[in-house]
Amino acid sequence: MLKKIHTSIDTLYPEMVNIRRYLHQYPELSFHETKTAKYIADFYEELGLPYETKVGGNGVIATLKGGKPGKTVALRADFDGLPIQDEKDVPYKSKVDGVMHACGHDGHTATLLILAKVMKSYQEELPGTIVFLHQHAEEYAPGGAKPIVDSGAIDHVDAVFGTHLWATLPLGVLQTSKNVFMAGADRFEITIQGQGGHGAYPHETKDAIVIASEVISQLQQIVSRRLDPLETAVVTVGTFHAGNSFNIIADKATLVGTVRYLNADIQELVINEMEKIIKGTCVSNDASYTFNYLKGYPPLINHEREAALVLEASKEIEEIHTAEEVIPVMGGEDFAYYTMKKPGAYFFTGAHKEGNPYPHHHPKFDIDERALPIAAKTLIQAYFAYQS
349-368 pLDDT tens trace:
999 999 999 999 999 999 99
Statement to judge: residues 342 and 366 lie in one domain: yes
171 and 190, same domain (yes or no): no
What is the share, in percent, of the chain residues with pLDDT greater than 70?
100
Q: What is the per-residue pLDDT across 126-155, written as a single tens digit (0 to 9) for each?
A: 999 999 999 999 999 999 999 999 999 999
Question: Does residue 354 share a domain with residue 222?
Answer: no
What is residue 239's predicted lDDT score, i.e. its pLDDT? 98
Does one domain contain both 171 and 314? Answer: yes
Calculate mean pLDDT across residues 79-96: 98
167 and 216 co-located in one domain: no
309-333 pLDDT, tens digit each: 999 999 999 999 999 999 999 999 9
Task: Look up the CATH number of the domain holding residue 114.
Answer: 3.40.630.10
258, 281, 297: which is the final residue of a domain?
297
pLDDT at 117: 98
Please give the model's pTM, rounded to 2 decimal places: 0.95
Residues 29 and 166 placed together within one structural domain of the fold:
yes
Are residues 106 and 63 part of one domain?
A: yes
Write the pLDDT tens digit of every residue in 233-274: 999 999 999 999 999 999 999 999 999 999 999 999 999 999
Same domain, residue pair 207 and 353 = no
Domain count, the chain: 2
155 and 24 together in one domain: yes
| Mean of all residue pLDDT scores within the chain | 98
Query: What's residue 252's pLDDT?
Result: 98
Q: What is the pLDDT of residue 262?
A: 97
Average confidence (pLDDT) over 32-54: 98
Residue 193: give the domain boundaries: 184-297
Domain boundary among 297, 317, 332: 297
Residues identified as active-site = 80, 138
Task: Answer yes or no: do 112 and 30 share one domain.
Answer: yes
Of 274, 297, 320, which residue constitutes the final position of a domain? 297
CATH classification of the domain holding 277 = 3.30.70.360
Q: What digits encode the pLDDT tens for the residues 156-210?
A: 999 999 999 999 999 999 999 999 999 999 999 999 999 999 999 999 999 999 9
Query: Could you tell me whether strands 180-182 and 173-176 are parallel, antiparallel, or unpaired per DSSP bridges?
Result: unpaired
Same domain, 40 and 145: yes
Provide the percentage of residues in the chain whose pLDDT is more than 90: 99
Kindly state whether residues 220 and 313 are assigned to the same domain.
Answer: no
3-state secondary structure the chain: CHHHHHHHHHHCHHHHHHHHHHHHHCCCECCCCHHHHHHHHHHHHHHCCCEEEEECCCEEEEEEECCEEEEEEEEEEECCEECCCCCCCCCCCCCCCCCECCCCHHHHHHHHHHHHHHHHCCHHHCEEEEEEEEECCCCCCCCCHHHHHHCCCCCCCCEEEEEEEECCCCCCEEEECCCEEECEEEEEEEEEECECEECCCHHHCECHHHHHHHHHHHHHHHHHHCCCCCCCEEEEEEEEEECCCCCEECCEEEEEEEEEECCHHHHHHHHHHHHHHHHHHHHHCCCEEEEEEEEEECCEECCHHHHHHHHHHHHHCCCCCEEEECCCECCCCCCHHHHHHCCEEEEEEECCCCCCCCCCCCCCCCCCCCHHHHHHHHHHHHHHHHHC
